[in-house]
Amino acid sequence: MTSQFDASAPDPASAPESPPRSPASPRGALRLALIVGALGVVFGDIGTSPIYALQTVFNPADPHPVPVNDANVFGVVSLVFWSMMIVVTVFYITLAMRADNDGEGGIMALITLIRRHGTGRGRRTALLLAGLGIFGAALFLGDSMITPAISVLSAVEGLKVVEPRLENWIIPVTAVIVLLLFGFQRRGTARIGRLFGPIVIVWFLSLAACGIGGIADHPEILKALSPTYAIAFLAGNFHIAFFALAAIMLTFTGAEALYADMGHFGRKAITSGWILLVFPALLCSYMGQGALILADPSNVSGAFFLLAPEWARVPLLLLATAATVIASQAVITGAYSVASQATKLGYLPRLRIAHTSEQQIGQIYMPWINWLLMVSVLTLVFAFRSSAALAYAYGMAVIGTMTIAALLFFYIARTQWGTPKWLVLTGGGLLIGFNLLFLAANTTKIIHGAWFPLVFGVTVFTVMVTWQRGREIVTAERERREGELRPFLEQLRRGEPKVAQVPGTAVLLNRGLETTPLALRANMERNHVRHAQIVILSVETEPVPRVPLDQRIEVDDLGFSKDGIIHVTTKFGYMDALDVPAALRLVDAAQSEGRRLRLDDATYFLSTIQLRAGPEPTMAAWRKRLFIATSHITADAADHFSLPRERTVTMGAHIEV
């Protein structure tokens, strides 16, 4: 079993783990645009939870239903408020978003920080926590599949409230919306944010207005702001409250997406949106629904839509459908960020990334991840067929990721920030204990669907750690075979090996100027020929939108320019087209001893490795096959660097893993 493995691409394990952010900080109109964009992309997931959260808590079909009475309603609403306050406002908004990796957020950013500083005696602990973090990232990717399915389904199910005869259209309409959503992703999060932002603002204002109406009719619900009701609900009815936690946590799903999407819009834009609009609107909606249920327990099955006046329910249904589409956007963009950072860290192969903004380097689109998510979401829609069924599977992925993220954060706070031990143990212990209580409650849903995100998480985790281990094996063997560049060129100058010189220019892509391109070594040792001009080329992507042409190339003669050999480094901005032939035309003739590079008929060489499973016990046989299979999704290097196909030659060697 063999597979082609690109050896000329930069090695994620040895490359800088994350580029620095652009020094420009948004101000004025740009800051406002980022806040609106963040509202349109980041808050959709957590912002649509009012549609189904309380309905799920009091769902009589639940395996562990919560009886509808005044004490339970006050307790649930109070617990909802304090859960959002503790998990979202205190942990994610106030604390976690300060732990960024050069502006990037999410659990992969925490892993990067731990790996970067995990040295000495703490290295083993850092590696264990990084592995745990990878499992959390895998769970988050599972959440990225479940959120679009449950969000869109829950809104479209409002058709039953408006017109029961339309129930059979719920699944087809949901599928069409999902297809349109993922088809629109290529336009980029900036454009999506500008389009969705005003809709989400209207959505949150509608939540607040409907909620305030409900509160005005039954203002006694405001007593639920006191934590005593949440404590009394937990302590006095633990046998009921424990199972309710699995549904209550639906009110803060999307909090991890806020953190993961930080690289798209920045911490300040997300924080401002949450404090000024999102949190107040959500609180009004949940309290308004609670008030409606207090007035008439039969309202529990459709409290969200019944909170609106009858004339407004159809417009609210349409707005809710739009909002749930936007809810999906939060985790989709979060999935792009997680996958991109996993690629940089060497846990995934190189995937094609399209940068969609010149202001924010974190705004990206990943086609392979996009279409994988689309197929997965459609599969879930047709398999589960209702938001209630998906709700059982939903919480496990979310709370698993949150618990792991909290553990990693407090480890960083103690080891890297020097936070006092007593404060970490007290604050971290309380928060992690709070999360573990929700996690324990979700384990009761495993047989009802929560098994799915666990199985998916274990599968993705296995792929990621297998890729990392296989990459380490291949990189070590590749570097051994490549050898150092300068000694090889010295041997070539001495006529070892003896080679015939042919006219023309050879451009060999390589990871840097320290090692010998495999294609160069193979051409000389196997074919016994060399070109009259040899250009060893390295490509670097800078953390700026565009690199000026006068800064595009750097030439190093390596001390062998008289032999027709030079090294060229080409630098591109993340918005620049990676056109290697065009960049080479900028090489000054004077830098190559007065001889111009003959690029019209230049031959481009890519160093690649054919992978195959070998007898050495480097990994289990099934992991070797998995590693080789994963390598097939690596982006094509010739297309990536805009090389002319008719003049591109792939050379390399076999490596057994």
Q: Which of 153-162, 274-283, 643-652 is predicted with the least confidence, judged by mean pLDDT?
A: 153-162
What helix, strand, coil percent values describe the chain, rounded to 5?
65, 10, 25
Compute the average pLDDT of residues 51-67: 81
Of 306-315, 396-405, 418-427, give the range with the top mean pLDDT: 418-427
Compute the average pLDDT of residues 33-43: 74
Burial of 219 (0-12, 13-18, 19+ CB in 10 A): exposed
* Per-residue pLDDT, 24: 41
In terms of DSSP H, where are the helices of 450-592? Answer: 451-482, 485-493, 518-526, 580-584
* Per-residue pLDDT, 225: 95
Report CA torsion sign: 588, 592, 593, 595.
Answer: negative
* Per-residue pLDDT, 589: 44
Compute the average pLDDT of residues 476-493: 83
Peptide bond into 497 cis (omega under 30): yes
> Across the chain, what does the average pLDDT equal?
81
Spatial contact of 613 and 621, defined as CB atoms under 8 Å apart? yes
Spatial contact of 72 and 237, defined as CB atoms under 8 Å apart? yes
Greater confidence (223 vs 532) lies with 223
Note the pLDDT tens digit of each residue in 544-591.
667 888 888 888 888 887 888 888 889 887 667 778 888 888 885 435
Residue 531: which region, alpha, beta or left (left: phi > 0; alpha: psi -120 to 50)?
A: beta
* Per-residue pLDDT, 363: 66
* Per-residue pLDDT, 122: 67
Of 306-315, 333-342, 645-654, give the range with the top mean pLDDT: 306-315
Spatial contact of 282 and 427, defined as CB atoms under 8 Å apart? no
Greater confidence (589 vs 595) lies with 595
The span from the CA of 155 to the CA of 392, in Å, is: 17
Q: For residue 445, what pLDDT band results from cuts at 50, 70 and 90?
A: confident
Please provide the size of the chain in residues: 657
Note the pLDDT tens digit of each residue in 173-205.
889 988 888 887 776 655 666 677 788 889 999
Spatial contact of 391 and 247, defined as CB atoms under 8 Å apart? yes
pTM of the model: 0.75
For tokens 């950013």, the residue is: 109
* Per-residue pLDDT, 219: 93
Greater confidence (543 vs 455) lies with 455
Greater confidence (234 vs 17) lies with 234
* Per-residue pLDDT, 17: 39
* Per-residue pLDDT, 115: 79
| Residue 413 confidence (pLDDT) above 60 | yes
* Per-residue pLDDT, 208: 95
Compute the average pLDDT of residues 9-14: 47
**Among candidate residues 333, 313, 263, the one with its CA nearest the CA of residue 40:** 333
Domains and CATH numbers, the chain: 26-455 (1.20.1740), 481-656 (no CATH)
Q: What's 101's DSSP letter?
A: B
Spatial contact of 190 and 360, defined as CB atoms under 8 Å apart? yes
| Residue 25 confidence (pLDDT) above 50 | no
Q: For residue 19, what pLDDT band results from cuts at 50, 70 and 90?
A: very low
* Per-residue pLDDT, 407: 93
* Per-residue pLDDT, 405: 92
The span from the CA of 347 to the CA of 73, in Å, is: 45
Q: For residue 6, what pLDDT band results from cuts at 50, 70 and 90?
A: low
| Residue 358 confidence (pLDDT) above 60 | no
In terms of DSSP H, where are the helices of 42-106? Answer: 44-47, 53-57, 70-83
With residue 528 as reference, give the H or E element that holds it. Answer: none
First to last CA, the chain: 11
The number of angstroms, rounded, from the C-alpha of 374 to the middle of its chain's C-alpha atoms is 15
Greater confidence (61 vs 643) lies with 643
